[in-house]
Amino acid sequence: MRHPTLNRKLRRDIRRQWAQFTALVVTVLLGIALYAASANAYQNLQASYDNAFTQENFADLFVTGGDIPTFSQTARATAGVQAVSERQVVNPPMEADGTKFAGRVISYPAQGSPEVEKLTPLSGASNPSGTNVLLEQHMASDFNLTEGDTFTITGAAGTTEVTVSGVVASAEYLWPSPSRQEPIALPKTFGVVYADPSLTATISGSSAPNESLVLLTDQARADNGDQILAQLTTAANKDGASEVLTRAQQPSNSLLQEDISGFEQMSWAFPILFLAAAGLATYVLLTRRVQEERPIIGMFRAQGMRGRTIAAHYLKFGLAAAVVGAVIGLPLGILGAGALSKQYTQMIQLPDSLVVIEPFRFEVVIIGLAFAVIAGALASWAPAVLATRVTPADAMRGDAPVTGGKLSLIERIIPPLQRAPARIRLIIRSISRHKKRATFTAAGVGMALLLILVSGLMISTMNGLINQQFGQVEQNQGQAIYSVPVTDTQLSELEGVSGVTGAESVIQQPVAVRFDASSYSTSITAFDADTSMHGFVDPDGNSISLPDDGVLVTQSITAQLPSLQVGDQITLQLTEGGESRTVTVSNFVNEALGTFVYSDKEFFATTFGNEIPPMSALLTTTEDADQDTIRADVQKLPGVVSYVQTAALQQLWNQFAGLFYVFVGAMLVLGGLMAFAIIFTTMSVNIVERQRELATLRAAGVRQRTLAGLVGGENLIVATFGVIPGVIAGIIGAKLMLNSYSSDQFTLNLVVSPWIVLIAVVAILFVAALSQWPGLRAIRRMDIAQVVRERAN
Amino acid sequence: MNAESLVRATDVWKIYGEGEAEVEALRGIDLQLRPGELTVVLGPSGSGKTTLLNIIGGIETATKGEVVLGGQDLTQLGPEDLATVRRENLGFVFQFFNLVPTLTAEENVQVIAELTDRGGDGLHERVRAALRAVKLEDRAHHFPGQLSGGQQQRVALARALVGSPKLLLCDEPTGALDLDTGRHVLLLLQQTARRQGTAVVIVTHNSAISRMADRVLRVRDGEIIADEDGEAASAEDVTW
């Protein structure tokens, strides 16, 4: 049966409480817009990556070192494998634009394209030929190189001048990450070049391929890809591979997937938070409405209106706010997703030809609407059911039954409070009069705090990470990489550079760490026993020294080798040379960036022999030294092929942290809006409910500011109830979020900054105070005569 | 049972609470109401008269006894069936009007008319006719806040009558009104009984109103202590 007049009542009820309704709509809108923006952005970016992987036949497995031909044969014979390609990869020093740096040369056919790991041409030639090479786009932009420009590569046969014949993009280097241990390379410290096989062989001094790339069929990837890859990994390890990486572990892809997974997390976290807040506010508002309309509901029931008709009437209020919020929020979110996706793909320089941005995804719209409708229905359900329980006899009773006429719990626990000034007792009893409403208001404040703190504590964690990494761990200011062994001669030359206060040679070798049946590729760095270039901090935060008879391993390795413990024996296999030795893990160390193995030089020599010399040196400088000048001077020294400034790395991390501040600022605004919406709604309900008693107090001569203090104080006290749970939830939420981002590449240990917690709490309480202003204004403008004469509406 | 009875209550009891807190609001009530009859139920506060009204109207369920309305025993019906009976047979007028503040006078009547609407154009005509009957057609588009107390009660009466109820139950319909306005409302109730053949029951503590009744029931301590013929005086002559 249709009830058009009841619907008209609904529309007018909404208009009468337009401010509260708008608060609900805005809260729903924010949640749904953020959902649509993050869900769409995530899907756009994932689709773009998938498109890049499909177009370029991005490998499912990257196998480095060992018996490549044997492994490739095994892989080709494996069911589910579509193609296997072999290539050579070498990391020679390069010099371009006056800068020396560590580069990477990858062999690429002079004609056609390989079956696995194709390139996307951006300009110029599509294939290298002779000394004409293709540049990966990031190197081209870093060094400002275009077709026709030249630079040098120093390999086994000496230095070769090469010419840029084309610029390409590769899915392998969308994020130009040298390795999993070195996820972020400073500009002008790393570059990728594609050369034909003969030039690559000349540079490396060998024509044997040292990498095998495996591509699965789409069907196999979907059905049992993990199983096939596990099988192939075992085979690769048996064939002596020094590193085996799946697509997910490939450095660039791994970093980018971590990044976009943040969008996926936001796509469900935000709507849950905001819709929960809207739900609380809707519940409070509707429950009050049902209470207020008890006599009318009773009259409807007395006149024979069905319970479900009454329930539907109140359910529609919550659904209306949800649907309006969703209808506005979805297009906003979709627009936002487009802009976000475009910016992100531009930032990582994904070629336009590979970008997939779908302006409209039907499933996102449906899910967004469903989120909103379900939330609206759930929030309105209890008040709607409450309405059906109003008996017709309630119509006889006139006003809603008065509640709360008893001592509060806290007065019974603390009896002296019963003799407190009446206005204090009024505040206490008002709070306990509507426990559910007070709880929901506090919960809303808690949720707003959760939102702010999760992002705010990520800032303090980032700062903590940077302080630890560049204050405790990296105690050097730079690393010079040589093409010759570093002896006292080189160290003296380094110390002779103006501003340099000390230099130490270090041995660095890529290794595979094997434990149980698992393997992890990283590097071992051997320092002087009493090194001052690197700090070692155990998991308890104590400074420790390098052991005499074992190695230190960063604790993050347990992400890959979960059962590894201090005292266990591990096998270290050098990637270059293939020698394996068994050593003891003397202790774990805590480091934020990367996963590494450390020893002193004597232990390294004892373990692996004296044939592996140090090829780099770490140096310290004076505090006021010009780091750029030092870099330029060091690069001029004989044998130096590249120089990495620690300070520049720190600056890069600080820039990343800077992005977090923008994010936190946005969360502060959103959290504030959420808290405002909830407190404004509950405050309005409180005032309407108590209009007559407030008017009576005014009529009796109580000052306006006293009244405002009573009502405002009560709401602020309720808001503070949400502070402690909100802080606890925020800390737990931040920890969970950081754990989800932690890996062998980053160890994100939560750092709780008391200042950030304090700022968040003060900000929320300020918003709580501000959100009461409309209600307090309503008290000020109350028509006392009218209210005390008539029943409150 | 008298063939003309619209409502028959037999040995009706209403007991609230248990043990020492037990209250017998109604004790063994026997009652018959006839169409077109205006009955005033008189009694002091706490006598059980409102409870009696609620039981007859199917708003509350008797603890024991039988209440038959339109051939159905209300004591055997569930809440939704009771609502159906009320929808098809009853109208209510309350002391505090219980108008929806966000609906106009016309809409307050219409929202109830829609409950029994069987489609077609008859709905609006019924609403208009109900407002005409209470002489408020010119206030149809006013909201309750723009109407006086008497006008609001007349809207409530129109709302109660729009479904052409067989039985109209009024709980202190003049309790919130001044003398002149109250008399006017009583006159409308009297006319409803006489012209439309509706059985009208008015519950009140104001004995002056009993003069307009066809029948007066005096209730005390949950029992009908007197069931007598009323003066049936014109409501215009009632004064208090």
Which tens digit of pLDDT belongs to each residue from A779-789?
777 776 666 55
pLDDT in the model for residue A727 = 95
Question: Would you call A304 and B159 a contact, using CB atoms and an 8 Å cutoff?
Answer: no
Beta strands in A295-412 (DSSP E): none
d(Cα A522, Cα B87) in Å, to the nearest integer?
Answer: 81
Q: Which residue has tokens 């070769």? A: A160
pLDDT at position A793 is 35
Nearest alpha-carbon partner for A683 in A617, A752, A776: A776
Task: Out of A78-87, A750-759, B63-72, give the one with best mean pLDDT.
Answer: A78-87
Q: How high is the pLDDT of residue B118?
A: 56
pLDDT at A214 over 60: yes
Mean pLDDT of A211-228: 96
CA gyration radius for chain B? Answer: 18
Q: Please answer yes or no on whether B86 and A303 come within 8 Å at the CB atom.
A: yes
The structure tokens listed for A583 are 């050593």
Residue B8 tokens, joined: 């028959």
Q: Which residue has the higher pLDDT, A682 or A397?
A: A682
Of B54, B88, B110, the CB nearest to A393: B54
Query: Residues A479-504: what's their mean pLDDT?
Result: 94
Please tell me which residue, A251 or B3, carries the higher pLDDT value: A251
- Which of A517-526, A572-581, B83-92 shows the lowest per-residue confidence on average (mean pLDDT)? A572-581
User: Most B CBs within 10 Å: which of A3, A12, A296, A303, as the mutation test of the B interface?
Assistant: A303
DSSP 8-state secondary structure symbol assigned to residue A513: E
Helix (H) or strand (E) holding A639: none
Residue-level pLDDT at A147: 96
Q: Do B114 and A6 touch (CB under 8 A)?
A: yes
Instruction: Report the pLDDT value the prediction gives residue A587, as an integer from 0 to 100.
Output: 96
Query: What element of type H or E holds A530?
Result: none
Q: What does the DSSP assignment read for A152-216?
A: EEEETTEEEEEEEEEEEE-GGGSS--S-SSS----TTSEEEEEE-HHHHHHHHT--S--EEEEEE
Q: Which two tokens stand for residue A474?
A: 């990296």
Interval A571-591 mean pLDDT: 89
Q: What is the ipTM of this complex?
A: 0.75
Phi/psi of residue A527, nearest 5 degrees: -110, 170
> What's residue A170's pLDDT?
94
For residues A647 and A474, which has the higher predicted lDDT (pLDDT)? Answer: A474
Residues B51-63, mean pLDDT to the nearest whole number = 89
Write phi, then psi, for A318 (nearest 5 degrees).
-65, -40
**pLDDT tens per residue across span A595-606:** 899 999 999 999
Q: Are B90 and A303 within 8 A, CB to CB?
A: yes
Residues of B with CB under 8 A from a CB of A: 50, 54, 57, 59-60, 79-80, 83-88, 90-92, 94-96, 98-103, 107, 110-112, 114-115, 117, 145, 159-160, 163, 171
Among candidates A4, A16, A302 on the partner chain, residue whose Cβ is nearest the Cβ of B59: A302
pLDDT band of residue A369 (cuts 50, 70, 90) is very high
Chains A and B form CB pairs within 8 A to the count of: 94
Q: A502 pLDDT exceeds 60?
A: yes
Q: What is the pLDDT of residue A284?
A: 85
- pLDDT score of A487: 95
Q: Cβ(B163)–Cβ(B91) under 8 Å?
A: yes
Report pLDDT for B1.
41
Give, in degrees to the nearest 5, the angle at Cα A160 between A119 and A632.
Answer: 95
Q: B170: which DSSP letter?
A: E
What's the confidence (pLDDT) of residue A544? Answer: 94
A290, A301, A396: which to substitute to probe chain B, counting the most B Cβ within 10 Å? A396
Unique residue bearing structure tokens 């009529």: A699
Q: Which of B50, B102, B103 to mutate to test the interface with A (most CBs of A within 10 A)?
A: B102
Look at B94 and A395 and tell me if their CB atoms are within 8 Å: yes
> A681 to each of A22, A285, A453, A672, A726, how far by Cα in Å?
10, 7, 23, 14, 19
Contact B115 A305 (CB under 8 A): yes
Q: What confidence score (pLDDT) does residue A229 get?
A: 96
Query: Taking 50 as the threshold, does the pLDDT of residue A669 lie above it?
Result: yes
Average pLDDT over residues A264-288: 86
Are B114 and A398 within 8 A, CB to CB?
no
Q: Is the pLDDT of residue B18 over 60?
A: yes
Nearest chain A CA: its distance from B204 CA (Å): 13
- pLDDT confidence bin for A415, thresholds 50/70/90: confident
Contact B83 A9 (CB under 8 A): no
Tell me: pLDDT of A792 over 50: no
Least confidently predicted of A427-431, A451-455, A718-722, B175-179: A427-431
Q: What is the mean pLDDT of residues A433-444?
A: 83
Q: pLDDT at residue A693 above 80?
A: no
Chain B residue with CA closest to A14: the answer is B102
Give the pLDDT confidence score for residue B31 in this predicted structure. Answer: 93
Mean pLDDT of chain A: 88
Element (H, E) at A123: strand A120-124
Is B75 in contact with B67 (CB distance < 8 Å)? yes
Please state whether beta strands A190-195 and A99-107 pair in parallel, antiparallel, or not at all (unpaired): parallel
Residues of B in contact with A3 (CB under 8 A): 111, 114
Residue-wise pLDDT for A5-48, tens only, equals 999 999 999 998 898 899 889 999 999 999 999 899 999 999 99
**Which residues lie closer than 8 Å to A750 by C-beta, 6 or more apart?**
A457, A461, A731, A734, A735, A738
Residue A211's region, left for phi above 0, alpha for psi from -120 to 50, else beta, is beta
Per-residue pLDDT, A788 = 57
Residue B216, both tokens: 């007066």
B114 contacts A1? CB cut-off 8 A: yes
pLDDT band at A791 (very low <50, low <70, confident <90, very high): very low
- The pLDDT > 90 percentage for chain A reads 51
Q: Per the CB < 8 Å rule, is A303 touching B159?
A: yes
Q: Over 70: is that where the pLDDT of A722 sits?
A: yes
